[in-house]
Chains A and B, each alone.
Chain A
Amino acid sequence: MTDGERSAGTVAPGAGASKHRQRHHPIVRATHWVSAFALLVMAGSGLRIFNASPAFAPKGETFPWWPWEGQAVPANLTFGGWLGGARHWHFAMMWLLVANGLLYLGYLWFKGEWRELAPRRGSIADAVEMAKFYLGLRRKHPVQGKHNALQKYAYSTMIVLGVVSVISGVAIWKPVSLGWLAAAMGGYHLARWWHFTAMLGLGLLVVVHVVMVFAVDPYAIRAMTTGGYDDDRFSPEARNARPFTNLAPAKVEDRA
């Protein structure tokens, strides 16, 4: 930051109390990064376990919902080194993932912040408007709350997929002690498939999320780490930002 920018920031009119408000609660910031780490380890070690038998059908049978039956995942995408090692990591890290997830969900619930994430009536129309804006079919960024409608769908889907992956994971970890759980998921093979598919969906959304953070709202990295965020200057809505455009902070004077 140059001196010029800094002085411009400090003397800007309308520098009110909201300016230094933290965008995310410390619990949200901590659990975000812990789940990023835990999910990475879970995915890597899970893929190593998957590679022991990279198929869903019993041997000799076909499986309609996975086109790459028998195809192992490249070793460099895996973690744990060997089957036993990956199992140790997977069954240790799952507790961190679950504890962290429960802490986050508890926070969302007790603080009522789930309302910022859950899509509601009208969210579909809002999401269409948002998509139109991203595609250049609309000039002005739709008005939004903390998150836009596309984000609401993405983030709430991630939570659902996280819950599915934990439940299906428990089902294939304890198929005898908790046999009813595997049965509820359509049997052991399908429970495995649910587990894998939830991971794939989660992975896909993580990739989209990371790309969008850099392409639309890089300021979110700081907001998610130290909490600092200035809605008036940084929010994509204030900047009228679509991917790779209007990345520079908005001038507050223009809005005053």
Chain B
Amino acid sequence: MTVHREILRKADEVVERARDTGRLDRRAFMRLSTLGIGATVLASCNSSGPASAGKLLSFATMQNEKFERWLLGANTPSRTGRLTPAGARFPSYFISDSVPIWDTAARGAWTLEISGAVKTPRTFTYDDLRGMKMATQRVPHYCVEGWTAVADFTGVPMRALLETVQPTADAKIADFMSFDDGYHESWDIESTMHPQTMVVLAKDGQRLSPAYGAPARIHGPVKLGYKNTKYLTKIVLMPSPNGGYWTDRGYEWYGGT
């Protein structure tokens, strides 16, 4: 940026003059600080900030997470009001080149494995899940990229599902894995156990279609969209966070709402 360079050149001049005269009078001091602040502000335009702030930022992220976990403790349900589901206008996201579809011929029948820090690891078939007590909730979604859409999600509450495998005391994290090109995201156990977090099988009263994460996906209003793994294959409970697809690319791990 040329303005920026010009300001630095001017600042150099002021410093030179101060060196020549051996003193930095008030006028020179004011000029120098104005130029210095101006240069800093200009250099900040569209920048990601100084790299040295990284530690401070991750410290803040950590503290925020504690605060957000405390807020979550209130177990507030998401508010729905009188909203109409968006149906097919609900956007569809995946990271593979094309819509991921579970290929029964190649991989056998789809199952959901729950393992890791649990007393009784278990593999659920689709019918096992369908046989469990289901819940339905209407959730409005507000995307940072601009779309808004409402959907009715029907599924098995995570809490009920995990009770069947008995998590151990060191199950602090749940990692939700998928067959969408390695996409996964790990959650804290409190959000996982939130009454509105579900393994979803149906959207707007119909079986999930491949565009929306068939055969099963994670859905919970307490997390940002990218934390909600679709095309679910495996839930592994573990003692410490295991990152995730977008988390590993610099987005906040906690991603709570």
Known: A174-B71, A179-B76. A44 touches B44 (CB 8 A): yes
Residues of B within 8 A of A24 (CB): none
| B145 partner, pick from A52, A78, A174, A183, beta carbons under 8 A | A52
Q: Is the CB of A81 within 8 A of B57?
A: no
Overall SS of chain A's interface: helix
Contact B143 A177 (CB under 8 A): no
Which of A55, A79, A176 interacts with B49 by CB under 8 Å?
A: A79
Select A92's contact among B60, B76, B145, beta carbons within 8 Å.
B60
Contacts of B125 in A (CB 8 A): none
- State how many residues of chain A have any CB contact under 8 Å with chain B: 37
Residue in contact with B148 in the complex, picked from A49, A58, A176, CB distance below 8 Å: A58
Which residues of chain B have C-beta atoms less than 8 A from A76's C-beta?
45-46
Knowing A91-B64, A176-B222 are in contact, say whether A83-B144 is a contact too (CB < 8 A): yes
Q: How far is the CB of B52 from chain A (nearest CB, A)?
A: 13
- Are A183 and B79 touching (Cβ within 8 A)? yes
**A190 smallest CB distance to B (angstroms):** 12
How many chain B residues sit at the interface, stated as a range, is 35 or more
A177 in contact with B257 (CB, 8 Å): yes
Cβ B251 vs Cβ A84 within 8 A: yes
Chain A residues whose CB sits within 8 angstroms of the CB of B134 once the complex forms: none
Structural contact, B252 and A84, CB atoms closer than 8 A: yes
List, in ascending order, chain B residues with CB within 8 A of A178's CB: 71, 76
Q: B44–A53 contact, CB under 8 A?
A: no
- Which listed residue (A1, A44, A89) contacts B57, Cβ 8 A? A89
Per the bound structure, the CA–CA distance linking A49 and B252 in Å amounts to 14
Nearest CB of chain A from residue B45's CB, rounded to whole Å:
4
Q: Which residues of B contact A (CB under 8 A)?
A: 26, 41, 44-49, 56-61, 63-64, 68, 71-72, 74, 76-79, 140, 142-149, 221-222, 249-252, 256-257
Interchain residue pairs with CB less than 8 A apart (9) = A77-B45, A87-B251, A91-B64, A92-B57, A92-B61, A177-B68, A177-B257, A180-B76, A183-B79
Are B71 and A85 in contact, CB atoms less than 8 angstroms apart? no
Contact of A174 among B49, B68, B251 (CB under 8 A): B68
A79–B256 CB distance below 8 A: no
Contact status A177-B57, CB under 8 Å: no
Most buried by A among B74, B79, B140: B79
Contact of B60 with A95 in the complex, beta carbons under 8 Å: yes
Q: Is the CB of A75 within 8 A of B147?
A: no
| Max chain B Cβ within 10 angstroms of own Cβ: one of A1, A55, A88, A189 | A88
How would residues 8 to 39 of chain A score, 1 for a CB under 8 Å from any chain B CB and 0 otherwise?
A: 00000000000000000000000000000000
**Are the C-beta atoms of B78 and A52 separated by less than 8 Å?**
no
Residues of chain B within 8 A (CB-CB) of A188 are 140, 142, 148
Q: Does A82 contact B (CB under 8 A)?
A: yes
Contacts A44-B44, A53-B143 given: A177-B79 contact, CB under 8 Å?
Answer: no
Which of chain A's residues has its CB closest to B148's CB? A58
Query: Which residues from B are CB-within-8-Å of A78?
Result: 45-46
Closest 10 CB pairs of A and B: A81-B48, A53-B146, A92-B60, A58-B148, A76-B45, A176-B257, A179-B79, A177-B71, A75-B46, A84-B251
Chain A interfacial positions (CB closer than 8 Å to B): 1, 40, 44, 49, 52-53, 55, 58-59, 75-85, 87-89, 91-92, 95, 174-180, 182-183, 188-189
Known: A44-B44, A52-B144. A175 touches B64 (CB 8 A): no
Residues from chain B with Cβ under 8 Å of A180 in the complex: 76, 79
Residues of B within 8 A of A88 (CB): 57-58, 60-61, 252
Q: Which chain A residue shows the least CB distance to B249?
A: A84
Give A49 Cβ to nearest chain B Cβ, in Å. Answer: 7
* Interchain CB contact under 8 A, A82 and B252: no
Q: Which residues of B contact A53 (CB under 8 A)?
A: 143-146
- Residues of A contacting B252 in the complex (Cβ-Cβ under 8 angstroms): 84, 87-88, 91
Distance in angstroms from B34 CB to nearest chain A CB is: 10
Closest-by-CB residue of B relative to A57 is B148
B65 to A: closest C-beta gap in Å: 10
CA distance A81 to B44 in the complex (A): 9
Verify B49–A89 contact, CB threshold 8 A.
Answer: yes
- Do A49 and B144 touch across chains, with their CB atoms under 8 A apart? yes
- Which residues on A sit within 8 Å (CB–CB) of B44? 44, 79
* A254 CA / B63 CA spacing, docked (Å): 59
When C-beta atoms are compared, the residue in chain A nearest to B27 turns out to be A1
Q: Is the CB of A81 within 8 A of B47?
A: yes
Cα distance, A58 to B89, chains bound together (Å): 12
Shortest C-beta distance, B74 to chain A (Å), equals 6
Given known pairs A174-B68, A176-B76, A179-B79, the reply for A84 and B142 (CB within 8 Å) is no
